[in-house]
């Protein structure tokens, strides 16, 4: 029963949303299910935050390897949570000028939460993506080895697109006459992105849509219950 009841709830909610999407008079059912989803999502956020604190505090208490990073995570989580809930630095809502900052928006410019996001989270995110660029370049170097026909096509296509985005690529084929304008590297790169890459993206999206539909049906029909975890029926 521990897995049957959650499965029935998930299955009924899923089919209700599908019916509400295609049947006009059932739209209200879908809105009700969405409201319950928001309620459960809020509870899940609380449980997730509690689980994060539990795991990292245990790591700090036991002085496991990397416990200092866990301590920083807990401190950052607590500071951000307090700044957002207390609305530190927020100005009162104009409709309630005599009230406290609690009536203002916690994400408005100048609040502590806004400062943490703009001057801590955003730079850290940019740093991570900057570091990923080196890993992407390394992976591309290993992948672009023309060991077979497919790899040679990939290497040639990438080379044309990269050259087409630089001044050197434009300069290399600038001598071609106007009758061969389409063979210039900058135009070839645009054609590749517009035709072949677009076709590939659409094929991938169609495959993702079919896979999502298949997995959703498996979950709704109870064929796949892995999301319920292990345990007795």
Domain ranges across the chain: 1-74, 87-142, 144-233
Mean pLDDT on 1-7: 77
- Whether the full predicted model's pTM is greater than 0.85, yes or no, is no
pLDDT tens digits for range 42-52: 999 999 999 99
Other residues' Cβ atoms within 10 Å of the Cβ of residue 184? 19
Question: Band of the pLDDT at 199, cuts 50, 70, 90?
Answer: very high
Question: Band of the pLDDT at 22, cuts 50, 70, 90?
Answer: confident
pLDDT tens digits for range 209-231: 999 999 888 888 888 777 776 65
Query: Quick one: three-class SS letters along 9-72?
Result: HHHHHHHHHHHHHHCHHHHHHHHHHHHHHHHHHHHHHHHHHHHHHHHHHHHHHCCCCCHHHHHH
Determine contact, residues 146/155, Cβ cutoff 8 Å: yes
pLDDT tens digits for range 100-130: 666 677 778 888 889 999 999 999 999 998 8
Mean pLDDT on 55-75: 93
Span of 13-17, 28-32, 54-58, 150-154 with lowest mean pLDDT? 150-154
């Amino acid at each position: 029963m521990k897995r049957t009841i959650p499965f029935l709830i998930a299955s009924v909610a899923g089919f209700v949303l599908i019916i509400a999407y295609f049947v006009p008079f059932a739209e209200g059912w879908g809105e009700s299910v969405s409201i319950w989803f928001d309620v459960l999502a809020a509870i899940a956020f609380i449980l997730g935050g509690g689980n994060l604190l539990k795991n990292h505090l245990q790591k700090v208490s036991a002085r496991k390897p990397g416990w200092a990073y866990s301590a920083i995570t807990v401190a950052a989580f607590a500071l951000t949570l307090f700044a957002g809930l207390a609305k530190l630095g927020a100005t009162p809502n104009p409709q309630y000028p005599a009230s406290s900052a609690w009536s203002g928006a916690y994400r408005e410019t100048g609040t502590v939460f806004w400062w943490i996001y703009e001057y801590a989270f955003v730079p850290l995110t940019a740093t991570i993506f900057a570091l990923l660029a080196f890993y992407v370049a390394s992976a591309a170097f290993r992948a672009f080895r023309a060991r077979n026909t497919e790899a040679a096509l990939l290497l040639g296509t990438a080379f044309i697109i990269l050259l087409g985005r630089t001044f050197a690529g434009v300069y290399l084929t600038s001598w071609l006459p106007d009758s061969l304008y389409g063979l210039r590297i900058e135009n070839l790169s645009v054609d590749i992105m517009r035709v072949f890459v677009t076709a590939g993206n659409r094929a991938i999206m169609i495959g993702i849509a079919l896979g999502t539909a298949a997995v959703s049906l498996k979950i709704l029909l109870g064929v796949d219950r892995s999301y319920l975890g292990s345990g007795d029926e």
